[in-house]
Amino acid sequence: MKILGIIIGTSDEPVTKKYYRENKSSLKILEEYDVFSEHIPYDFAIFAEIKRQGELKHIEVIPLFGDELTLEDCNECDYIFSIFEGVYSFMDGGSAGYKNYMNVLKKTTATVYPSQKMQQFIIEKHKYMKYLGDNKYKIPPTKFIDLSRISINPIMKFINKEELSEIIIKPELGAFKTGFKIIKKPTEKKVSDYLDKLKKQGYKRILLQPFISEFNKYGEIKTYWVDGKFVYAYKQQWKDGSGVFQHQDKIDKVLLRECLITASELLEDIFKDHEELVQCRIDFACCMNNDKRCREFFINEIEISPTIGSDKYELDGKGYSLLAKALLKKCK
């Protein structure tokens, strides 16, 4: 029997009561890992679904816990699927935790989905952002900065040339807005001080962008794909520090169609130039310097191990079973 290990271990995005009710019997096995009905993180729920479907296909599905990943455990598997990604290992264990996670996945004899190389390409945001830019996909104006050799002059030149009165700084390996900062009226001192601070926290690289107010005004359109096929989209805005989500129906139809065309072209390119992905989320923001015609969007982010919930705007978690099916198809 083949063994498929699923890397999990977040405590995020618990499944809804509805999802729990409808999947009670397969979720029950999670009690073995001290995960009970009141709070079932999305990654544990997906693991349970993969395990349920794996049994029907005679594949043994086991959990691998991301914060204590060992080469020994990974080598017992024929295949490994990462839901808990490198960003979590960094948040939990700093640079050492991240290094361990990446090293283990690099060395393991198991086939890893997404491959360690692909995970690194996405996690080191500047790499895929440059790939997008080189392939004529629209990305926001971005200055990529290596914190091991900061030189403030080119940074200030970027700020002055773009006449930026407000900038945002976001670190690679950041998630859920950690390390994210808006700097108003950026001066050399304000920027340097913040970069130094991030460097001390262990971050290696950052992205500097204009603060784009339209981002939140029109919202971010997040599109979710399994096996290269579109599953659903939703719209996210921020209000008083928390996310406000809207169902796909509320997105301008023409805009959504354009985003989906772009995303499917991009997936085709990634599959060709890099590798096929079991799942992927491509996030769009709209629009820059354009109030009237809300069509000039750009790609803000690609996630290959996205946090996917089971709310209504995420089709009540129907993506989980599609994901499990697509993954198991690969494990033959």
Ligand X SMILES: Nc1ncnc2c1ncn2[C@@H]1O[C@H](COP(=O)(O)OP(=O)(O)O)[C@@H](O)[C@H]1O
Question: Which chain residues interact with Mg ion by CB under 5 A?
Answer: 301
Partner whose binding site includes residue 36, from Mg ion, ligand X, none (CB under 5 to 8 Å by kind): none
Site for ligand X in 187-226 (CB under 6 A): 209, 211-212, 215-216, 220
Q: How far is the CB of 162 from ligand X (least distance, A)?
A: 12
Distances in Å between the alpha carbon of 291 and those of 40, 128, 217, 218? Answer: 41, 28, 10, 9
Partner whose binding site includes residue 111, from Mg ion, ligand X, none (CB under 5 to 8 Å by kind): none
Residue (41 or 210) nearer to ligand X, CB: 210
235 binds ligand X (CB under 6 A): no
Residue 140, phi then psi, degrees to nearest 5: -65, 155
Residue (109 or 165) nearer to ligand X, CB: 165
Which long-range contacts (C-beta less than 8 Å, at least 24 apart) are formed by 109-113?
A: 109/74, 109/75, 110/5, 110/74, 110/75, 110/77, 110/78, 110/79, 110/80, 111/78, 111/79, 111/80, 112/79, 112/80, 112/81, 112/82, 113/79, 113/80, 113/81, 113/82, 113/278, 113/327, 113/330
Partner whose binding site includes residue 250, from ligand X, Mg ion, none (CB under 5 to 8 Å by kind): none
**Which residues, 6 or more positions from 48, have their beta carbon under 8 angstroms from its beta carbon?**
23, 26, 27, 29, 30
Helix 116-123 × helix 125-134 angle, to 10°: 80
Partner whose binding site includes residue 143, from ligand X, Mg ion, none (CB under 5 to 8 Å by kind): none
For residue 323, give the nearest of 202, 242, 224, 254 by alpha carbon: 224
Partner whose binding site includes residue 170, from Mg ion, ligand X, none (CB under 5 to 8 Å by kind): ligand X
Residue (43 or 301) nearer to Mg ion, CB: 301
For residue 139, give the nearest of 21, 248, 266 by alpha carbon: 266
Name the 3-class secondary structure at 139: coil
119 binds ligand X (CB under 6 A): no
Site for ligand X in 142-171 (CB under 6 A): 168, 170
Q: How far is the CB of 295 from ligand X (least distance, A)?
A: 18
238 binds ligand X (CB under 6 A): yes
Partner whose binding site includes residue 168, from Mg ion, ligand X, none (CB under 5 to 8 Å by kind): ligand X
For residue 244, give the nearest of 211, 214, 209, 217 by alpha carbon: 217
Site for ligand X in 125-144 (CB under 6 A): 140
Distance CA 92, CA 22 (A): 32
Residue (10 or 300) nearer to ligand X, CB: 300
Q: How far is the CB of 318 from ligand X (least distance, A)?
A: 23
Give the interface segment with ligand X, choosing from 9-17, 70-78, 174-182, 311-319 (CB under 6 A).
174-182
301 binds ligand X (CB under 6 A): yes
Chosen residue from 53, 89, 300, 305 binding ligand X by CB under 6 A: 300
Where do contacts with ligand X occur on this chain (CB under 6 A)?
Answer: 140, 168, 170, 174-177, 180, 209, 211-212, 215-216, 220, 238, 300-301
